[in-house]
Chains A and B, each alone.
Chain A
Amino acid sequence: MISKRRRVLKAAWGAGLGWLMHQAAMAQAEPRNARPQEGDRFVFAGGDRKGVIVTPGDLPLGGPQIIAFPQDPRSAIVRDGSRLNQVLLIRFEAAELAEATRSRAPQGIVAYSAVCTHAGCDEWAWRSEQKMLKCPCHDSEFDPKDGARVSSGPAPRRLAALPLKVEDGVVMAAGGFVGRVGFQSV
C-alpha cells in the first residue's frame, strides 16, 4: 500500500519536474531569455552607455569589471530577458592569467557569469589591489585571473566562465557558459 502510494507520488513528482524543465527550456528558447551563445557580442547592461557594444578598448587594463548583456548579432536582440544572462568582462595582461583561464581569454579579456553562486546577487565591487571580485551581499570573493575560483566567503563554487573571441575589434562569445549559472536554491 505504502510503496504503491510512493510510486504514484514519485511518478507525479517526476511528471511535474519534467513539465517544469520543459517550461524552462521553452523560456530559454526565447532569444531574449537565452543564455549567451557562440558569436554573441556584448552591450553595456546599465549606466550611461547602456546598450552600446563593448569593444576591448572599453575595458580598462587590470580592471575593474563591466557588466554586459549578450546580444545576438543577427537580430540585434539583447539577451536581457533574464538577469542570469549578465556577464562580467575584465581585461588583464595575458601573463597575469592562469593557463586554463588564458586559453579562453583573447587579449587577456575574461568573461564570467555576473550572478554570485552563493545567493544570486549580481552587484560587484572591485578590489583593485588584489584584482578580485567581491560580492557585497555576503562578502564572497572570486579570482577572475584564475577561473573565478572562490578565494574567500560563503560561495560554494566558482562563477561560470564564458569563453571569448575577438573579431573585427568586437568582443564575442566563443561558446556557451562553462559551468552552472546561478545558485543552488533547493
Chain B
Amino acid sequence: MIANTLLTAAACVIGFFSWTSAAQSLDRYSAVTDDRLLNPEPQNWLMYRGTYNGFGYSPLDKINTQNVKKLAPVWSFSTGMLEGHQAPPIVNNGVMFVTTPNGQVLALDAKNGDLLWRYVRELPEDVIQAHPTNRGVALFEDKVYVATVDAHLAALDAKTGKVVWDVAVDDYKKAYYLTLAPLVAKGKVMVGTSGGEFGIRGYVAAFDARTGKEVWKTYTIPGPGEPGNETWAGDTWKTGGASVWITGHYDPQLNLTYWGTGNGGPWPADMHPGDSLYTSSVVALDADTGKLKGYHQYHWNDNWDWDEVSAPLLIDVQRDGRTIKSLVHPGRNGYLWLLERRADGIKFVDAKPFVKQNVFTSIDPKTGRPSYDAEKIVSSGKSVTFCPSQWGGKDWPPAAYNPRTRLLYVPAHENLCATLQGESKTPSYEPGKRYTGINANATKLLVAPGADHIGELQAWDLNSGKKVWTYNYKYMNWGPVLTTGGALVFAGGSNDRYFRAFDARTGRVLWQFRTNSGVTGVPSSYAVDGVQYIAVQSGWGVDAQKMQGRLDSFMGTKTHVPQGGVVWVFAVRE
C-alpha cells in the first residue's frame, strides 16, 4: 500500500492546453467499447496490432502503390527518451497515444502533433531494465492502460492522463517486469510478465478494467497437481521462465486469447530437463476465467534461447478444399507454423523452415513435435554452434497479414548462427539475479560463410505454402510490419535508419525515408478528416542494438546507430 502511494505520487502528469485543436480533439474523445474493439473503424488503430486477429492490417487505401512515392512527413515529435521505441501509435478518433521506454505515455493530436498530455513515471532507482522498452497502450472506455518495467499496470484518464488506478502486478525486485501492450477484451485488461533471464515463473493475469482488481492469473508453467508439471524435474518449475513478452491475440467466437511464451531457464537443456511445458509454446486461455484450453509447444526443452514470444495470427487458410481457422506463427526456431484453433484445443497442421535451421532433424507429421540433432543441444559445460542464432528466424517484431493480397509478411534473420556454452553447473537461484546458466564470455554471433545478406522481409502465400517474394537487407531487420488496403507494406528495422514502403504484391521498394534513428517501432495507419496517415516511432535500442554490437565484434567493424525517439507521421500531400 505504501509502495502504491509512493509510486502514484511518483507519477507526474503534465497537461498542455492550447485551447485550440488540442482541446477539440480531447472534446471529441470517444469511449472505446467492446463493439468497437471487435470491429474497429477503418480510420482508427485501437490496439497493438490494430485488430484482435493480430493482422497488423489497416484497410485504408488512400495511400497506395500509385501515390506512395509522394508520402512525406507532416509532423514529428521528439520523445526525449533513449533506448528502444517499439510501441505503435494507437489512435482513437484523432487522439494518438504512444508509449516510450520508462513507461511514459504521450497523448498527441493525431492530426497536427500537439501534445495533449504526458504521463511521466518516476521509476524506482534500483529497477533493472534488461529490455528498456515499452510496446504500447491498450484502450477501453475512457481509459488508457500502460504496463510498466517496474511491474505495475496503470489506468490513466484518456482525457487528462491522470492516474485512475495503479496496481503492482508483481515485485520488480525479483525481476518481474512488463514490456508489452496490454490486451483488453470483455472489460478485462490482460498482461503477461517478462523476466525469463532472471528465473521468474511466467504468467498471464487479467484485471478488471474499471477497478484494477485482479480477476484471474494463469501461470505458463503448471504447478504441482496440474497437467504438465510432470515435464519439470523437482522444483525447476518455480524458476523455469516461460515469460509472456508480447500482447496476445483474441478469438471472440471461441472466447480464447492466444499468447506466445518464452524459453525455459536456466537455458542449458540439462538445467531444466524434460519438455518444460509451456515454454516456447502458444497457450489458449479463456478470456473470462484464464483457464488453459489448449496449447502447442513449438519445441520442447528449449536450450537455444528461442522464446516464441509472438502470439500467432488468426488467419483463415485454405487447405485441401477446406477453410482452416488457423494460428500462424513464424517462429524464433525458424519454422513457419500452421495450427488449427478449436474450442477443445490446438491441432498441428504443418511446419516448414523459413530460414536455414540446423537443429531439427524432423517434425512428427501428426503432432508437430520436432526431433533434434544431439550435437546441437546446449548443456552444462558444452559449447554448441547452431542456426538460426538465439535471436532466431524471427524475434519479437510482429509479422503482418493482408487479407487483400492474402500474403503474410515476415521480418526475418537469415545467415546468422550463434555459439552458446552452458556453465559447468546450474547456478543457484537468487531473486532478481540473472539465471541463464550461460557462460557469457563464450557467447558469439556468427555470420554464415558466403552470406550476402542477413535481414529479410518475406511474403508467404499460406494457401499454397509458398514464399512469394523476399526483400534482402545487408544487415539486420528488426522492423515490425504494417500492411494496408493500399496494397502496401511498411517497415523499418535496418541500421541505416530508413523507413520503407513496399509493394505488397512484389516486394519492390516504392518509397523510403531516412529517420533520426533505427526504426524498431510498430507502424500503424489511421485517418483524420478523411486524410490517411502512416505513423511510426524511430528509436534504436534493446536487441537490435545488442545484435549490432555482436555483429560488429564478429566483423571487426564499429557501427553507430544514433539513439533518441521520435514519433513520425506521414501523409500524401495532394
Q: Tell me the chain A residues, 136-184 only, with Cβ under 8 Å from chain B.
A: 136-139, 152-154, 182-183
Query: Given that A5-B17, A136-B440 are known contacts, is A123 also in contact with B434, CB under 8 Å in the complex?
Result: yes
Does A127 interact with chain B (Cβ within 8 Å)? Answer: yes
Asked whether, in the complex, the Cβ of B128 is within 8 Å of the Cβ of A138, the reply is no
B-side contacts of A20, CB under 8 Å: 9-10, 122
Check A186–B127 contact: CB distance below 8 A. no
B546 touches A186 (CB 8 A): no
- Bound-state CA distance A47–B429 (Å) is 10
CB pair B125–A24 under 8 Å, yes or no, is: yes
Q: How many residues of A contact B (CB 8 A)?
A: 34
What are the residues of chain A within 8 A of B17 when measuring CB–CB?
A: 2, 5
Q: Is the CB of B130 within 8 A of A137?
A: yes
Interface size on B, residues (CB 8 A): 37
Q: Restricting to B523-569, which residues have a CB under 8 Å from any CB of A?
A: 545-546, 549-550
**CA A138 to CA B9, docked complex, whole Å:** 31
Q: Is A73 an interface residue (CB 8 A)?
A: no
- From residue B109, how far is it (CB to closest CB) to chain A in Å? 17
Residue of B nearest to A124 (CB): B440
Residues of B within 8 A of A9 (CB): 14-15
- Shortest CB distance B131–A (Å): 8
Tell me if A103 counts as interface (CB < 8 A to partner B): no
- Known contacts A5-B17, A125-B441; A185 and B125 CB within 8 A of each other: yes
Question: Which chain B residues border A120 with CB–CB below 8 Å?
Answer: 126-129
Complex Cα distance, B117 from A5, in Å, reads 14
B326 to chain A, nearest CB (A): 37
The answer to the question of A60 belonging to the interface, with a C-beta cut-off of 8 Å to chain B, is: no
Q: B9 near A16 (CB under 8 angstroms)?
A: yes
Q: Which of A2, A19, A185 contacts B127 (CB 8 A)?
A: A185
A121 within 8 Å of B (CB atoms): yes
In the bound complex, residues from chain A placing their C-beta under 8 Å from that of B253 are: none
The CA-CA distance from A185 to B122 in the complex, in Å, is 8
Chain B min CB distance to A117 (Å): 12
Partner of B128, one of A23, A24, A82, A121: A121
**B434 and A121 contacting across the interface, CB-CB below 8 Å:** yes
| Cα–Cα distance between A126 and B439 once the two chains are bound (Å) | 10
CA distance A173 to B479 in the complex (A): 48
Query: Which of the residues B102, B123, B428, B546 comes within 8 Å of A138, measured between beta carbons?
Result: B546
> Interface digits, A15-50 against B, CB 8 Å rule (1 contact, 0 not)?
010011001100000000000000000000011000
B187 interfacial by beta-carbon distance below 8 Å: no
- A47's nearest neighbour on chain B, judged by CB, is B428
A186 near B123 with CB under 8 A, answer: yes
Point out the residue from A24, A121, A127, A185 that lies within 8 Å of B123, measured CB to CB: A185
Query: In the bound complex, do residue B128 and residue A119 qualify as a contact, i.e. CB atoms below 8 Å apart?
Result: yes
A134 beta carbon closer than 8 Å to chain B: yes
- Tell me, rounded to whole Å, the shortest Cβ–Cβ distance linking B82 to chain A: 8
Determine whether the beta carbon of B128 is less than 8 Å from that of A182: no
Residues from chain B with Cβ under 8 Å of A82 in the complex: 125-126
Q: What is the minimal beta-carbon distance from B84 to any residue of chain A, in angstroms? A: 11
Interface centre among A134, A136, A182 (most CB of B within 10 A): A136
Complex interface: chain B residues within 8 A of A126 (CB): 441
**Is the CB of B254 closer than 8 A to any CB of chain A?**
no
If A119-B128, A138-B545, A186-B122 touch, whether A125 touches B440 (CB-CB below 8 Å) is yes
A47: chain B residues at CB < 8 Å are 428
In the complex, the answer to whether B550 meets A136 with C-beta atoms within 8 Å is no
Report yes or no: B128 in contact with A136, Cβ–Cβ below 8 A: no
Instruction: Compute how far the CA of A183 lies from the CA of B120 in the bound complex, rounded to whole angstroms.
Output: 17
Task: State the Cβ distance, B200 to closest chain A Cβ, in Å.
Answer: 15
**In the complex, how many angstroms separate the beta carbon of B83 from the nearest chain A beta carbon?**
8
- Residue of A whose beta carbon sits closest to that of B104: A186
Within the complex, the shortest CB–CB distance from B468 to chain A, in Å, comes to 36
Name the A residues within 8 Å of B9 (CB-CB).
16, 19-20
CA distance A120 to B433 in the complex (A): 11
User: Which residues does chain A contribute within 8 Å of B574, judged by CB atoms?
Assistant: none
Is there an interface contact between A136 and B436, defined as CB atoms closer than 8 Å? yes
For B150, the closest partner residue in chain A by CB is A185
Q: Within B439-481, which residues are at the interface with A (CB < 8 Å)?
A: 439-441, 443
Contacts A20-B122, A121-B128, A186-B102; A154 near B6 (Cβ below 8 A): no
CA distance A121 to B126 in the complex (A): 9
Other-chain contact of B549, A119, A122, A136, A153 (Cβ < 8 Å): A153
Complex CA gap A123/B256 in Å reads 39
Chain A residues whose C-beta falls within 8 Å of the C-beta of B545 in the assembled complex: 138, 154
Does any Cβ of A come within 8 Å of B113's Cβ?
Answer: no
With the chains together, A60 CA to B58 CA distance in Å? 61
B132 touches A186 (CB 8 A): no
A135 to chain B, nearest CB (A): 8
Please give the distance in Å from B197's CB to the nearest CB on chain A. 8
Whole-angstrom CA separation of A19 from B197 in the bound complex = 35
Instruction: From A16, A84, A122, A138, name the one whose CB has the most chain B CB atoms within 10 angstroms.
Output: A138
Q: How far is the CA of A153 from the CA of B58 in the complex (A)?
A: 38
Instruction: Tell whether B430 is near chain A: CB-to-CB under 8 Å.
Output: yes
Contact (Cβ within 8 A) A13 B549: no
17 new A-B contacts, CB < 8 A, other than A13-B12, A46-B428, are A5-B15, A16-B10, A20-B9, A20-B10, A23-B6, A46-B430, A119-B129, A119-B132, A121-B130, A122-B433, A136-B434, A137-B197, A137-B434, A139-B546, A185-B123, A186-B120, A186-B121
A-B contact pairs, 22 of them (CB 8 A): A5-B15, A9-B15, A13-B12, A16-B10, A23-B6, A46-B430, A120-B128, A122-B128, A123-B433, A126-B441, A134-B440, A136-B436, A136-B440, A137-B128, A137-B130, A137-B197, A137-B434, A138-B545, A138-B546, A139-B550, A182-B126, A186-B104
- Which residues from chain B sit less than 8 Å from chain A, CB to CB? 6, 9-10, 12, 14-15, 17, 102, 104, 120-123, 125-130, 132, 173, 197, 428, 430, 432-434, 436, 438-441, 443, 545-546, 549-550
Please provide the 7 A-B residue pairs with the shortest distance between their CB atoms, ordered closest to farther.
Answer: A136-B440, A125-B440, A123-B434, A119-B129, A185-B123, A120-B128, A186-B102
